[in-house]
């Protein structure tokens, strides 16, 4: 049952909220190889979108979007070096939470007035880096898996039969 008030809200077009940064997510799926669901789940989409625009400017982002469309959406077919560098930087941001220093030539071509240095987008961005998920790892200092879990075989690894050394060590019940 949807309460009366909510139904009115749903019917009213003026309060319909567009999915945030949908275009950016669309591009990021192609750059990262992760699904929109995974990308939204990091909680970082808006921040990364804003960081990108802030770092390279709307114009360059616009050209990058056009170039990517012209390349059939395949980042690997980007030929313009500035757009390709933006593709690398946005991917780097998703994988590590860190905006990287750009190639000096691209930095110059963009006429950027900010320092060309790497920085972490926000403290929360670091544990959300996609890189940890590529190998079933977890970010050091966050999302701890629990006592003794490091003794288990990771996905894709054979279990070890070592009777003298049970998988959870001899550290007692876990």
Binding residues for other proteins, per CB under 8 A? 30-34, 75-76, 81, 84-85, 87-88, 91-92, 95-96, 98, 100-104, 107, 116, 118-120, 122-127, 130-132, 134-138, 140-142, 144-158, 160, 162, 165, 168-173
Query: Nearer Cβ to other proteins, position 6 or 81?
Result: 81
Q: Are 56 and 109 in contact (CB under 8 A)?
A: no
Closest residue by Cα to residue 102 from 62, 47, 52, 28: 52
Structure tokens at 42: 């990091």
Query: Nearer Cβ to other proteins, position 7 or 145?
Result: 145
Given its phi and psi angles, is residue 111 left (phi above 0), alpha (psi -120 to 50 degrees) or beta? left
Query: Nearer Cβ to other proteins, position 3 or 141?
Result: 141
- What minimum distance in Å lies between the beta carbon of 133 and other proteins? 8
Note the Cα 85 to chain centre separation in Å: 16
- What minimum distance in Å lies between the beta carbon of 128 and other proteins? 10
Q: Are 48 and 97 in contact (CB under 8 A)?
A: no
Query: Nearer Cβ to other proteins, position 3 or 172?
Result: 172
Read off the DSSP letter of residue 153.
P
- What minimum distance in Å lies between the beta carbon of 39 and other proteins? 12
């Amino acid at each position: 049952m949807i309460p009366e008030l909510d139904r009115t809200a749903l019917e009213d077009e003026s309060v319909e909220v567009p999915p945030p940064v949908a275009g950016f997510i669309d591009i990021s799926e192609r750059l990262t190889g992760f699904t929109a669901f995974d990308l939204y789940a990091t909680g970082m989409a808006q921040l990364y979108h804003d960081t990108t625009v802030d770092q390279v400017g709307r114009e360059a982002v616009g050209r990058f979007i056009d170039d990517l469309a012209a390349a059939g959406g395949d980042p690997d077919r980007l030929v313009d070096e500035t757009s390709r560098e933006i593709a690398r930087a946005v991917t780097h941001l998703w994988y590590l939470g860190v905006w990287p220093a750009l190639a000096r030539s691209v930095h110059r071509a963009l006429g950027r007035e900010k320092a060309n240095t790497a920085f972490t987008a926000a403290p929360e961005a670091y544990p959300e880096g996609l890189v940890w998920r590529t190998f079933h790892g977890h970010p050091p200092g966050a999302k701890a898996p629990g006592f003794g879990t490091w003794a288990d075989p990771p996905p894709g690894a054979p279990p070890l039969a070592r009777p003298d050394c049970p998988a959870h060590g001899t550290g007692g019940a876990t």
